[in-house]
Amino acid sequence: MANPSEEPHARWQELPSWLLTQTANHAHRLVTDGFSAVDARGYHFRVLATLDEFGPASQAALGRRSGIHVSEMVATINELAERDLVERAPDPADRRRNVITLTSAGKKQLRRLEKQLAERQDELLAPLSADERKRFTELLTKLLDHHDRRS
């Protein structure tokens, strides 16, 4: 039986859009599996990493910085607060709004998530050299920047 990688590809299998979609599907599965291994979701990582990088924030500011829609943000903050990974407290400047702060347990969980993410990035990019990984990331960034500006 022939090796599937040696068989000819249909034209559509060589289209960049198809290749990106298939690679994105693999990336999503790998990252989801990695986060699941430490009882987390991608939104958890985004919130914890955003708090770590930018410090305490209102839910609205946190949503903007992390790119998480307000409808998902409330549930995500609730999940993280229930696990003592973040604290929610009234904003002293405006009691109608809450300020979200990363806890020490949240920092530990973030380190676990970063470890999982690094391992999954390595798994995804395994066939590429360090230089190829850097160039691939630069090209993806260029594409995304171009299309983000147009939308």
- Show the domains of the chain with their CATH numbers: 16-124 (1.10.10.10)
pTM of the model: 0.84
CA torsion through residues 2, 4, 5, 10, sign: positive
Residues in a beta bridge with 86: 102
Whether 49 and 80 have beta carbons less than 8 Å apart is answered as no
User: CA–CA separation, 137 vs 135, rounded Å?
Assistant: 5
| pLDDT tens readout for residues 1-46 | 455 567 777 888 889 999 999 999 999 999 999 999 999 999 999 9
